[in-house]
Chains A and B, each alone.
Chain A
Amino acid sequence: MSIIDDTRLRPAEPSRAVVFWNRYRRNRAALLGLVLFAVVVLMALTAGLVDPGDPLRRAGAPLTAPFVDMATPLGTDQLGRDILSGLFYGARISLLVGVVATLVAIAIGVVIGALAGYFGGWVDDVLMRITEAFQTIPNFVLLLTLVAILGSKIEWITLAIGIVSWTAPARMVRAEFMSLRNREFVDAARNLGVSNTSLIFREILPNALPPIIVYASVIMALSILLESALAFLGLGDPNYASWGNMIGQGRAVLRTAWYCAAIPGIAIVLTVLSFSLLGEGLNDALNPRQKQ
């Protein structure tokens, strides 16, 4: 027994969170993404402290350039609204739209993809034809239609963005499920008498999550862009300061006061960039084998 003993345990490994963080921080760009993301969250959280009033009220002379008046450090737009405070309150809207729309898209996608991938057969056929029907309509056109029907309240816009973005995650979840459902551990659990619902959500789904989490960051970035695009076309919710709204209104004075559109534009670029980098870092940390 002493020569070849198989029952002795290897030394314990560090916990999953530690391993995850060690892998994540190896990617410098991902760390930058994390910092940018933290800045946006911080902006959203401190908006009320930076400017306790309504960001849409008049705060100074219209079209003040940045760094001229200390009361409005980043200048004002053509209605005299403070761009800095718009930026902070806009972060709230962007994050809200990004997170909620992503949750909606992922929830629909997971349910449809999981059912299609797990059961296969006619369930798969029906669900995938529906998915394809959605995929054949260009995202943005569908979004415009939905907003036209539902109206441009921020809640409806968010929901509509979620509804137009679920097809890609659904296909992804389906592919993951199709490969995972034939793995022996699923048979093993079924053999213990585990029900289909538990098999789907407790056995397979946790194993299918890493690529979904990574893709969620992409959807989040896309949702923010979609919301901005809607606002740019004047279909955003006019009751909230959003970066898209600011660009849309700044467009009218682009030649004389470029900063009205450029400053929120930079904010969008950096936020979307942060999600992309975050997603890449997550991918490295969650699917370490893919890169080697």
Chain B
Amino acid sequence: MSQDRQDTAPILEIRDLKIALPEGSDRPFALDGLSLRVNPGEIVCMVGESGSGKSLSAGAVMRLLPEPHVYVADGSIHFEGDDLLAKSEAEMRGIRGNRISMIFQEPMTALNPQKTVGWQIDEVLKLHMPAKRAERRKHALDMLARVQIPDPESAYNAYPHQISGGQRQRVMIAMALALSPRLMIADEPTTALDVTTQLQILKLIRELQREDGAGILFITHDFGVVAEIADHVVVLRHGEVVEQGPAAQVLNDPRHPYTQALIASVPDLAPPAPKPLSDSPVVLKGTGLKKTFAARGGLLTGKRKAVTAVKDLSFALRRGETLGVVGESGSGKTTVSRLVTRLLEADSGAVELDGADLLACTPAQMRAMRKNIQMVFQDPMASLNPRKRVVDLIAQGPIVHGANPAEARENARELLELVELSPAAANRFPHEFSGGQRQRIGIARALALEPKVIVADEPVSALDVSVQAQVLKLLADLRDRMNLSLLFVTHDLRVAAQLCDSVIVMQKGEIVESGTAAEVFTNPQHPYTQTLMSSIPGRDWTPPVRNTDAA
């Protein structure tokens, strides 16, 4: 196999690529000695965690590095035998978009919101295709049809905000494919999409590439996606290639300890053996919750259409258990977490915490009740006040609720140890920590009030998978040790499968299915749940038996 790989003439060949970073960065080279080749009809996945230099390599191939601060210091990049690094800027312009094209992560920002989809595809064609306007239009419509957009004619005339996220990504792919490039670089093309859309897009990329025989350099952090799509895998860490090889080998028989640890961090889809159904008392109970967002009109514009985020939601969370709220974006799951903590006011319904209705409390009563129900937020960057020291962040809750400040700070230091951070962290500011460490601080802050319930809103979705695994483990640990009840909101079914005792699946503000995690994951009843389950990337791939001490 690897012999065959060497024989065919590669589309892209990178040898010993070194990309230098400006002085004072955390390492001298963003990429240090990257070598890889992309053959025709092959999808090469570059996997790595944030900061591994994977996106910069795409920039180097396109010659779009932020020079002169970041530049290619050494090595070569050959595209169909031509040295790309020796090309002039004008020659590169002829290659970009035409023979090498790119698909970006966030289709909303990669498309110009001011121009119609058709205009933007036409712009690419105008630059590289000597054809009449009518011909270009026909070609663009053909491309839109090829990426399976339902109504190409109306999509052609639509503005980016008028079509869905998945369709926007299809438009991006249509643009990338418009001139039948030899090489496509896809930088996390499905990360911003829901699982069901993600699967469709991955399939689409696969199919189109089979038809055209182009090579794809696919950058991702998600091993599920790798399992879904890759022929060949390159694993990057801190700018160095730790392992590369055929997909089947790297996924099922990783050699390097780092790859092993990374793969071991991917949560298993099969839920752990169900705990015996507990009869512990219900701590948190929601009944008939409803929330409609009415857009406030101006003085003269009048009321705009209201959006129902959650309609008639009821659930019960028992002590010591974890209830997962699972759904895609727009399903209303985040709204649930905010209704329960009363960061948003529900239109109707009740949230009972140990029998007391939170929604009926006066603001002052509610402030006092808050110590019983704490929250861990999604974005560890945004959820810690950047101007406060860690010790003050953690001690803030107890101090607000009347604890002696000196004691509260002392406790805060102990909590830091509980979340496995050094006590030296106490006097630092949030920006000095990595994402995972910040999330640990967020957990310590929630624990400081000794709450009965913790509501976690996508607490690991902003983290790298290895870090994600550690934070999840910590959460599960603390839950078991302190007999906490957890309301866990997530879009990631793998994570839900690992952590939750029972699960509710939401679609468009309604519960479509609920039950124990084991039931829902092994035998989903509702068609929507079934679609969700069958869309998980890499669902057929079971990570190899792990060394238990690796993660």
Interface residues of A, Cβ cutoff 8 Å to B: 1, 3-4, 6-7, 9-10, 12-13, 16, 121, 183-185, 187-195, 198, 203, 206-207
Contacts and interface: CB of A to CB of B under 8 A. Distances in A.
B465 to A, nearest CB: 9
A92 B232 CA distance: 74
A9 to B, nearest CB: 6
B491 interface: no
B424 interface: yes
A203 B466 contact: no
B433 interface: yes
B396 A184 contact: no
A20 to B, nearest CB: 13
Given A184-B378, A192-B370, A192-B400, A6 B467 contact: yes
B98 interface: no
B370 A7 contact: no
A4 to B, nearest CB: 4
B375 A10 contact: no
A121 B298 CA distance: 10
7 contacts: A7-B422, A10-B433, A13-B428, A187-B377, A190-B343, A191-B343, A191-B375
Contacts of A193: 367-368, 370-371, 397, 400-401
B375 A185 contact: no
A183 B440 CA distance: 19
B411 to A, nearest CB: 14
Contacts of A187: 338, 343, 375, 377, 383
Contacts of B396: 189, 192, 194
B258 A3 contact: yes
Which 3 A-B pairs have CB atoms at the shortest separation, nearest pair first?
A184-B383, A192-B397, A4-B466
Nearest to A15: B429
A182 to B, nearest CB: 9
Contacts of A9: 421-422, 424-425, 428, 432-433, 437
Contact of A207 (B341, B383, B386): B386
Given A183-B382, A184-B377, A4 B367 contact: no
Contacts of A189: 385, 396
Contacts of B470: 4, 6-7
Nearest to A5: B470
Contacts of A4: 258, 261-262, 265, 466-467, 470, 551
B482 interface: no
Contact of A6 (B296, B400, B436): B436
A192 to B, nearest CB: 4
A7 B467 CA distance: 9
Range class of the B interface residue count: 35 or more
Most-contacted residue by chain B among A12, A121, A188, A190 (CB, 10 A): A188
Nearest to B379: A184
B420 interface: yes
Contact of A188 (B424, B445, B466): B445
Interface in B382-424: 382-387, 396-397, 400-401, 420-422, 424
Nearest to A185: B385
Given A3-B258, A4-B466, A4-B467, 18 more contacts: A4-B261, A4-B265, A9-B428, A9-B433, A9-B437, A10-B433, A10-B434, A13-B432, A16-B429, A185-B384, A187-B375, A188-B383, A189-B396, A192-B370, A192-B400, A192-B449, A193-B370, A198-B400
Contacts of A7: 420-422, 437, 440, 470
B257 interface: yes
Nearest to A6: B436
B374 interface: yes
Contacts of A203: 385
Given A4-B262, A9-B421, A9-B422, A191 B436 contact: no
A7 B416 CA distance: 11
B382 A185 contact: yes
Most-contacted residue by chain B among A6, A183, A184, A189 (CB, 10 A): A6
B466 A6 contact: yes
Contacts of B383: 184-185, 187-188
Contacts of A207: 385-387
A14 B467 CA distance: 26
A158 B524 CA distance: 73
Contacts of A13: 428, 432
A6 to B, nearest CB: 4
A185 B430 CA distance: 11
A258 B120 CA distance: 64
Nearest to A11: B432
B542 to A, nearest CB: 21
Interface in B513-551: 549-551
A125 to B, nearest CB: 8
A195 B401 CA distance: 11
A210 to B, nearest CB: 10
B516 to A, nearest CB: 29
A188 to B, nearest CB: 5
Contact of B550 (A3, A188, A190): A3
Contacts of A121: 296
